[in-house]
Amino acid sequence: MAFQSPKIDDEKFAQIFQKAQAKLDELHASLKFPGGCVGFVLPDGRSGSVSTGVADLKTQTKLKPSDPMLAGSIGKTFVSAATLQLAQEGKLNLDEKIERWLGNESWFARLPNAKDITLRMLLNHSSGIPNHVDDGSFQKAMFKSSDKDIKYEALIAYVLDKKPLFAAGKNFNYADTNYILVGMIVERATGKTLYDEIAQRILKPLKLDDTFPSNKNVLPRVVNGYFQNKPITADGKFTVNPQWEWAGGGFASTAEDLAHWARALYAGDVLQKKYLDEMLGSTSVGEGKGYGLGVEIVQGKFGKSYGHDGEFPGYLSDMRYFPQYKIAVAVQVNADETPEAIKFIASAVDDFAQIIIGELFGEKLSETEKLNLQKTAEDWLKLVDAGKFAESWEGISAELKVKYAKEKWQSALQPFLKKVGNFKSRKFKSVIAFEAETVTIDFESSFAKLSS
């Protein structure tokens, strides 16, 4: 169910802003990543952003909310949206074989599953093409050629003549290579560069003024990033050329711009309903997640959310839109491949969504929904004692820690669940432990009655 948007006065907005800043500062003090930003858009369209830490460890320049970072694979959302706009205009067909657009290329026949792949399969990663990013020779080249002008056909070369991972359309494997091919198709269908097409269709109309192509190894506005605790720039140049991403990512942005983008795209301001539905139709990828046409779909503690995460050496980003509450949240950190940065990005969107939802909707939530705003299993157990039970409860946590055997948890939790009627005959569907004090419990069927 969707909640009616509440009235948000200046005082309420200030409370959200202050709590977001305090939470971000708390996470920074605890995890000690270089710097981080959070952007959000509220149901009434009002937006804000906060930052913490530094843009550069050497100079100790303070990080500002308006400082862009490389957004990694979030760029796929721009590519997918532009592609679907072309489809709704009749210029592309999602279920047409890509051979129509790329069949004349000298390398096309050497592409795994070449003659069986459709545009839709590229967008939802069901083509069976391996990911060129996983190729060892690509990884070496990426770190050795920061000054080289990248030809996008060179990226395709890393997967030519390789065995398909599976028959086209029969499984899921995330691969930047799919989106490199989509980018080529967009350019052939329009006669324009991919970046020009996205700028005209998306960035300019939505006034995403702090979002721009990362197609050079010098991007003056972008803050320094840190890969495995080492700076990703030297003498003002990236040591890893951002051109390697292109249609697999390819943009720098701010957290606030990304939040605006998530809201516009998934609330229906960019695509006709038919094509937004096409985008959001998903393939399950496990752990409560699905993948549509350039969108990650997560069933989480605040219901279903749509978005994408992104990684480029030195930077991590995530953005999500929560349709039940009509809010969008995006986070960025200028660090990568460190436990601290990974832990931050794993939970930050939910951490800040929790603040906003609690402030705006707290009084309207049912007891079970309010529970999702708590941090421990203790409150859930109190509901059991009070004669209330949620068939599926998700605790809030920083990251998935351990998945326990059903039998172990059934034994461990039995003392707490004595009041649940006919407990012994109920089977656990799944049990996941997040942190020591937080658990998620799903049963194969709901309880018809609670005993005293």
Give 83-111 as a DSSP string.
Answer: HHHHHHTTS--TTSBTHHHHTTSTTGGGS
Rounded Cα–Cα distance for residues 175 and 143 (Å): 19
Residue whose entry in the numeric block shows the structure tokens 């006034």: 207
Interior CA angle at 390 toward 386 and 391, to 5°? 140
368 band by pLDDT with thresholds 50, 70 and 90? low
Contacts of 339 (CB under 8 A, 6+ apart): none
46: left (phi over 0), alpha (psi -120 to 50) or beta: beta
**In Å, what is the CA distance from 405 to each residue of 245, 410, 433?**
40, 9, 10
Give the per-residue pLDDT at 316.
Answer: 96
Least confident among 123-137, 153-167, 419-433? 419-433
Pairing of strands 69-70, 251-253: antiparallel
Residue 445 has pLDDT above 60, yes or no: no
Q: Which residues contact 451 (CB under 8 A, 6 or more apart)?
A: 419, 420, 421, 422
Alpha-helical (H) ranges within 32-151 are 75-88, 99-102, 119-123, 136-144
Q: Are 178 and 117 in contact (CB under 8 A)?
A: no
> What band does 340 get if pLDDT is binned at 50, 70 and 90?
confident
**What are the structure tokens assigned to 185, written together?**
């198709």
Distance CA 270, CA 264 (A): 6
| Mean pLDDT lowest among 39-53, 109-123, 199-213, 220-234 | 220-234
Task: Give the pair of three-digit tokens for residue 182.
Answer: 């989509």
Predicted confidence (pLDDT) per residue in 163-201, tens digit: 999 999 999 999 999 999 999 999 999 999 999 999 999
Provide the angle, in degrees to the nearest 10, between the axes of the packed helices 10-31 and 339-361.
Answer: 160
Domain ranges of the chain: 69-361, 367-443
Q: In what order do the strands lie in the sheet with 438-443?
A: 392-393, 438-443, 428-435, 402-403
pLDDT at 258 over 60: yes
Residue of higher predicted confidence among 356 and 288 = 356
- pLDDT at residue 12, rounded to an integer: 92
d(CA 29, CA 123): 39
DSSP-derived 3-state class of residue 146? coil
Yes or no: is domain 69-361 CATH 3.40.710.10?
A: yes
198 φ, ψ (degrees, to nearest 5): -70, -40
Mean pLDDT computed over 135-153: 80
Please tell me the distance from the alpha carbon of residue 86 to that of residue 236, in angstroms, as a whole number.
37
- Token pair, residue 53, equals 């830490």
pLDDT of residue 366: 60
Q: Which two tokens stand for residue 315?
A: 């930077």
Is residue 434 helix, strand or coil? strand
CA–CA dist 131, 361 (Å, integer): 42
Q: Over 60: is that where the pLDDT of 448 sits?
A: no
State the sign of the Cα–Cα–Cα–Cα dihedral 130, 133, 134, 139. positive
